[in-house]
A and B are shown apart, each in its own frame.
Chain A
Amino acid sequence: MAGDTRGVRLGLLGIVALILMGLLGTRLWFLQIVDADRITAQVQVTRTKEVYLPPERGRIFDVEGRILADNERVLRVVIDQDVIRSRRTSRLALFGRLAGALRTTDVELEIRYCGSDPANPIIPDKNCRGGLFNPYLPFPAADDVDEATALFLRERIEDYPGVDVEEGWRRKYLFAPTASQILGYLGRVPEDNPKTSINETKEYTKLGYSLNDLVGSAGIEKQFETELRGTPGFSRFEVDARGRVLKTLSRTEPVPGKDIQLTIDLKQQLFAEQTLEAMLRRSRSVSPYPDKNDVKHWTIFYKAPAGSVVVEKSGTGEIVAMASYPTFDNRWFSAGISGKKFKQLFPPDYDKNPDTFPSPLVNRAIQGRYNVGSTFKPFTAYAALHTNFISPQYTYEDLGTYELLTDACIKKEVSKCTFKNAFNFATGRPTTYGVIDVSQALAVSSDTFFYRIGAELHLAYPDADVLQSNYRLFGFGERTGIDLPYEYGGVLPDKAAKARLAEQDAISDLEGTGFFVGDAIQMAIGQGLNAVTPLQLTNAYATLANGGFLLRPLVVHAIFPPGVPDDPAKPGHANVASRVPEKLYTTEQKPDRGLIDTAPLLSITPGLSCVVLFVEGSECRFPNGHQPTAQQTFKGFPHSTIPIAGKTGTAQGLNNAQENDSSVFVAYQTGENAQQGYTIGAYLEKAGYGKRAAAPVVRCLMLGVNGLYELDEPALSDELDVRSPFAAPPNPMPSEQCLDDATRTVERDRGER
């Protein structure tokens, strides 16, 4: 061994070796002792993979078994957003490799992801602004791939990072957009809204929903979410480092949701939607000022922006049809449209100008907050008769005006003490009807008759709210309890309600100090602060029709255990008859409400029959050429086969201008078959007086629901056209004959309300 320095240096090398070995030992100590527990726990989490198996959602049928909501099994190719969001080059590279498997091109995938260039639809938008898809969910590169493609991709999961094939269901609305308002739609689990105390996301999460789940967001889909959803299944896999499945550990099969049958008859529903829309469209070319010399007004037309109808079975409360215009196609919500497109279809600023942008998402039949005008009068009549304030034989001389003679009026402390009938177009003065009884007052819709009842009932019992408590018997001022979400309960103004309105600055503080005689007068004829939904109104008339039972309206007929089969004989139909319902919804009378006093109905119903019945020389003709309000409209109506009664209403709008009149009409079948008959209500916003727009619609529907008018069989709808600019496409009636019949008569006799 040469030299001592060699020995020292060799020792140095030995020390380096010792240090390095020591380092390794230390590292192993940390890994295998200090970190062992933490990493062991981590490994156990990542070694199993849980796959969510979505259950098939319950289907929805109409009363005839038509499948309104169905499901389709789909294999969806999705890409993790993290993989494709940031870098365009790597995204295009992945799209390029995927394109072949998905039988598309990388450019098309890029357009699907980014939207197309505004200038040139066949190239992708460079700034990637028009993407169709929710950025919080995996990007669906292809919605419906075949088994072979799915298998191909699953086997090459390592070549396609972030790409996965999901099994799922797609909701299909076979007859959309018909009944979209009732069916509703599915949407994402709602985000937490800091304004409300309900933490919706948490509520859904508690129920076992994942944030990627779709939940019912409106209509039946929302109301019956629990029944429709079913129970999700899970599959647990043991996976290796790259996510490849080694073996299945456990599998819990999903349980499909329950099927629901509605009381809706889609044929009637389609007809109702078409008739409502047709009448609104017609109204838009009609001017409320037919005098062509009236230079100031002759360019004004009815706006007729919106409306709704309800067709209810009088004896059971079952809703056969319920339409609201404008409506929408509920398939938009699953079409994966962009936020921009969505705003175009559903303008968010509809509140600011409801005439220009009426929201299609509002179901006006249950959410409309309306004055219902003279259609309220029968219930005022009921209050007067029921309290024996007047007798059935009582008469009143209608001189066209009602003078209020309270102390305040005599001292001239309040400005409005004279209440007038509507002006007669021919004379330019308030219409005078002469001596009339309660039936006749209803038939011609005398305002002064009911002004007096309102005023004097209130003055007799100023703090008893006699009117309101009688209206409540018919369900006004509270929700009907229909099985649909977001129902509005309406308002019956009283002292407390007025105080609330004053607090919200809806009325002045002075107004809010109490319920005054002026309020009672307005309320008696359906004007003023009261708010009623078309469904409430229709249901109240059904009470008149069925002999005094206030019912809870039904849209759901039955709930079936999962798996009602298709009817092989009829495409688009389920064989509902082959299964026993799990739950049958039956007529339910509202609690605490017994049979309403039927005696007043003996005076009210003849009056309402007179409104529509045109018989030459009958008792329903009145002196001075005053015809009951809707006789012209129901000329030629088969009164002998379908005896009906009805009432017009004209709800006055802004400045009491004629073009702001909303048209209301309700009719119900009378006679022996009243219990099996229908009650039909229509409310057409800013479409004129009651008989002009709403009454023809009701006439058509009354014929249709009784099988006296030929209706189209609803057809399975075509694919949704995602380029359409309409929330729902125009829905014309096949034949407008019944509307023509109802409006053929010369427009005259303007002096009714």
Chain B
Amino acid sequence: MSVTFPMQSRGMGNINRSPSEPWRNLDWVLLIPTYAIAGVGLLAIYSASAPIQLRTPGGDPYLYTTRQVIFLIAGTAAMAVVMTVDYGWIKERASALYMGTILSLVAVQLVGTGPPGSGANAWFDLGPILVQPSEFAKVTVLVLIAGYLAEEREGELSYPRFINGLLLVGVPVGLILIQPDFGTASVLIALAMGVLLVAGASMRYVIFISILAIATVGGLIAAEFVKPYQVDRLTAFVKQETNNDRKTEDLVLQVKYSKRAIATGGITGKGYLQGPLTNDGSIPVQYTDFIFSAIAEQFGLVGTVVLLMLYFFVLFRIWRVARLSRDDMGLYICAGAMTMIVWHVFENIGMTTGIMPVTGIPLPLVSYGGSSTVAFLMMIGLVQNVHMRRMR
């Protein structure tokens, strides 16, 4: 299928348009929970960032919320662009896309910056905004691996294709690990595993890739390639109740206060803008990675369950699109998107509740952050793309 542009036939209604016309097949039901989640995110970002801004001389309480609205608009635009072209068309340009991704990841190593003190090079500093290429790599790698695996005609994935698939994912994962950014690398590994699982990799392969991943992490730590702060994060996770080392205390305190905020929210929460731990900034950078604690404190178990249901609804909708997909690539795109969202949600909420180690990965569409918001909406755009073009 070639490029299709929406054409408005003036004055004749929709009579001339085929039922398979992509723009008539938008999954509106998927968009509702998606934007509902984004809306919850805006409320949470305001509550978590405004009190600190108000205490800062000249601070603007709406600063982060306004920016997030802009990110959402930009993301929606990017989503629309992604939906415009057939995903098959994107697949044909896969090698260029892949090269662009690799280049941007290499470039960020050379000219990028990172969070102060971390020593990581994860962002391009473009003046008013910071762009995180690894976030966009999630989208490109998703398209790429889905396309590559879909070329297999056999029922079961062949071994060479499995290895090549791993290598395709492995190169960006390696580059992201160098930054270093364990969180995003783990997302790509989860994506690969999810897609490979659905694509028919035998269980042996899946076990093999799991062992490989664990061995890699172990090797990196042993070779002291891993930055000390990442080891600290693990230590802090293991010792979150018993820690007495000053070095990891901040990390332990972050999780401890996050757990306190969540627990003190109770069933119904303390009410919007009424959470004391959120209001006094007990949890560092709460409006990004620890945004869930703000929601839990203010809206309680009711709020957190509603949020989980919204995610579940999104996942269910993507699963449904996967079932309807016209080809394997569409199926794999949906499977990958699902895996990534599940992993993001599980790891992020897991770390804020103290059952997972702290890695800097955001809560999809809720955490403040331009690159991730745009990337997630692009991912939803890809799923929509599959849905829009499900009829052959």
Contacts and interface: CB of A to CB of B under 8 A. Distances in A.
Interface in A264-299: none
Contacts of A241: 253, 257, 282-283
A254 interface: no
B342 A16 contact: yes
A8 to B, nearest CB: 10
A39 B263 contact: yes
Given A20-B346, A24-B345, A47-B276, A9 B198 contact: yes
B308 interface: yes
Interface in A584-613: none
Nearest to B268: A32
B331 A6 contact: yes
Chief secondary structure at chain B's binding surface: helix
A10 interface: yes
B319 interface: yes
Contact of B200 (A6, A23, A161, A240): A6
Contacts of A82: 244
Nearest to A86: B244
Interface in B165-203: 194, 197-200
Counting chain A residues whose Cβ lies within 8 A of the other chain, the interface size class is: 35 or more
Contacts of A29: 301
Contacts of B199: 6, 9
Contact of B346 (A14, A24, A43): A24
B349 A246 contact: no
Interface stretch (B89-97, B126-134, B208-216, B321-329): B321-329
A27 to B, nearest CB: 5
A25 interface: yes
B25 to A, nearest CB: 16
A24 B328 contact: no
Given A9-B197, A20-B346, A43 B323 contact: no
A100 interface: no
Contacts of B366: none
B305 interface: yes
B263 A31 contact: yes
A240 B281 CA distance: 7
B77 interface: no
Interface string B245-259: 010011001000101
Contacts of A16: 342
Interface in A88-147: 90
B263 A10 contact: no
A544 B246 CA distance: 72
B263 A35 contact: yes
Given A28-B262, A28-B304, A43 B277 contact: yes
B246 A32 contact: no
A39 B265 CA distance: 10
B300 interface: yes
Contacts of A36: 263-267
A656 interface: no
Contact of A10 (B198, B282, B327): B198
Contacts of A238: 280
A32 B335 contact: no
A39 B260 contact: yes
A641 interface: no
Given A1-B331, A17-B315, A47-B276, A24 B263 contact: no
A161 B296 CA distance: 30
B280 A240 contact: yes
A478 B333 CA distance: 101
Contacts of A20: 342, 345-346
B319 A10 contact: yes
Interface residues of B, number: 54
A33 B266 contact: yes
A28 B345 CA distance: 13
B257 A31 contact: no
Interface string B49-81: 000000000000000000000000000000000
B296 A32 contact: yes
A32 B325 contact: no
Contact of A31 (B194, B322, B353): B353
A162 interface: yes
Contacts of B267: 32-33, 36
Contacts of B276: 47
A31 B293 CA distance: 11
Contact of A242 (B253, B338, B353): B253
Given A36-B266, A83-B246, A24 B325 contact: no
B312 interface: yes
A17 B266 contact: no
A40 interface: yes
Contact of B259 (A9, A13, A31): A31
Nearest to A39: B263
A388 interface: no
Interface in B260-308: 260, 262-267, 276-277, 280-283, 296, 300-301, 304-305, 308
Contact of B197 (A13, A24, A43, A242): A13
Contacts of B249: 161
Interface in A241-259: 241-242, 246
B155 interface: yes
A31 B346 CA distance: 16
A24 B308 contact: yes
B87 interface: no
Given A28-B304, A32-B263, A2 B319 contact: no
Contacts of B311: 21
A10 B322 CA distance: 8
B384 interface: no
Given A39-B259, A246-B280, A32 B304 contact: yes
Contacts of A246: 280
A6 B266 contact: no
Contacts of B277: 43
B203 to A, nearest CB: 11
B253 to A, nearest CB: 5
B264 A40 contact: yes
Contacts of B331: 1-2, 6, 10
A21 B312 contact: yes
A17 B343 CA distance: 9
Interface string A64-95: 00000000000000000011000000100000
B266 A32 contact: yes
A32 B262 contact: yes
A42 B301 contact: no
A690 B96 CA distance: 116
Contacts of A39: 259-260, 263-264
B155 A5 contact: yes
B338 A21 contact: no
B350 interface: yes
A161 B246 contact: yes
Contacts of B300: 32
Contacts of B312: 17, 21
B323 A7 contact: yes
B51 to A, nearest CB: 11
Contact of A17 (B262, B328, B342): B342
B33 to A, nearest CB: 14
B339 interface: yes
B192 to A, nearest CB: 13
Contacts of A17: 312, 315, 338, 342
Given A13-B319, A23-B346, A32-B301, 15 more contacts: A3-B200, A6-B331, A10-B323, A14-B338, A17-B312, A21-B312, A21-B345, A29-B301, A31-B259, A31-B353, A32-B267, A35-B263, A241-B253, A241-B283, A242-B250
Nearest 4 CB-CB pairings of A with B: A39-B263, A241-B282, A32-B301, A20-B346
16 contacts: A9-B199, A13-B198, A20-B346, A21-B308, A21-B312, A24-B308, A24-B349, A27-B349, A27-B355, A29-B301, A32-B262, A32-B300, A43-B264, A161-B246, A238-B280, A240-B280
Interface of A: 1-3, 5-7, 9-10, 12-14, 16-17, 20-21, 23-25, 27-29, 31-33, 35-36, 39-40, 42-43, 47, 82-83, 90, 161-162, 238, 240-242, 246
